[in-house]
Amino acid sequence: MHDAVLPPDPTTVADLARRALAEDRAWHDVTTRATIPPDQQGHGAFLVKTDGVICGMDVVAAVFAAMSPAIELDVLAADGSSVEAGHIAAEVRGPLAPLLSAERVALNFLQRLSGIATLTRRFVDRAAEGGPAQIVDTRKTTPGLRDLERYAVRVGGARNHRNTLEDGVLIKDNHIAAALKRGISVDELVREARMSAPHTLRIELEVTDVATALLAVAAGVDVILLDNMTPDQLRTAVQSLGGDGRVLEASGGVNLDNVREIAATGVHLISVGRITHSAPALDISLEIAAQ
């Protein structure tokens, strides 16, 4: 892990583990009940098949604990560890039946979260080659799994944007279009938001051109979201808007091929939706053997 990262609340993790097991009807595994005696023991190893960053071991532990308190998990690669193909990330042992019944749920969490952490780390490292811009996530998360996926983003070395709709004022294109229909200008809309929102919240405005951004500056926004701008446009925006302590965020169309150039423009933040909504699962298998 690049820095110390607080894991999700254990109660939340335990609840998500139980809900995932219930969704899979893991306590009613008819195949295992019909073929595995309750006293047979087993052991297994989480084998990493692709280089990446591990994330989700606390969730794996919660899954097995919910399935059977007799299962023991030995973590060999803690969250944030960079691993190579062929690495054993963890070992597990205990009654064979609950091991088999919990296998898929444990893997689903570990593969998904490790995939997010892995892709995030790639974006963070690539951006660092261009400049000090901070990679941040978005709200494009799997419903019900936001706490875990945002944790995986932090494990990968990035930071979280606003977590929910009440964590900050972000005036986007739809809000602006609706205001214009009512005859309200952009600067007036920002001032209204400033008057209505709690004073502790930052005001952020999405813009697609420097002219609108200058209006936002005059109205007193704290953060300007530069949406879908080319690197040349971003550089112009930074030159026109930077230097007064206002935060500039680049967003839209960010990928591994252009994030270094975007970071080099001088923006402070680069928001990347794909690190959560499009991260491929890290290829990990659980090799279980009976005893």
User: Is the separation of the CB atoms in 8 and 147 below 8 Å?
Assistant: yes
Give 84-138 as a DSSP string: -TT-EEEEEEEEHHHHHHHHHHHHHHHHHHHHHHHHHHHHHHHHHTT-SPEEE--
Among candidate residues 172, 173, 209, 232, the one labeled active-site is 172
Q: Which helix (H) or strand (E) holds 146?
A: helix 146-155
Beta strand 169-171 pairing with 203-207: parallel
Residue type, 118: T
User: Is the separation of the CB atoms in 255 and 261 below 8 Å?
Assistant: no
Among candidate residues 29, 79, 137, 206, the one labeled active-site is 206
Angstrom distance (rounded) from CA 14 to CA 193: 39
Catalytic-residue membership of 244: no
Among candidate residues 24, 51, 91, 104, the one labeled active-site is 104
Angstrom distance (rounded) from CA 130 to CA 123: 11
User: Is the separation of the CB atoms in 123 and 275 below 8 Å?
Assistant: yes
Residues 6 or more apart in contact with residue 69 via CB below 8 angstroms:
none
Catalytic-residue membership of 181: no
Catalytic-residue membership of 274: no
Beta strand 269-271 pairing with 134-136: parallel
Among candidate residues 227, 235, 246, 261, the one labeled active-site is 227
Among candidate residues 139, 140, 194, 274, the one labeled active-site is 140
Q: How many CA atoms lie within 13 Å of 197's alpha carbon, on the beta-carbon side?
A: 20
Catalytic-residue membership of 140: yes
Catalytic-residue membership of 172: yes
Exposed/middle/buried for residue 54 (C-beta within 10 Å: 0-12, 13-18, 19+): buried
Catalytic residue IDs: 104, 140, 172, 206, 227
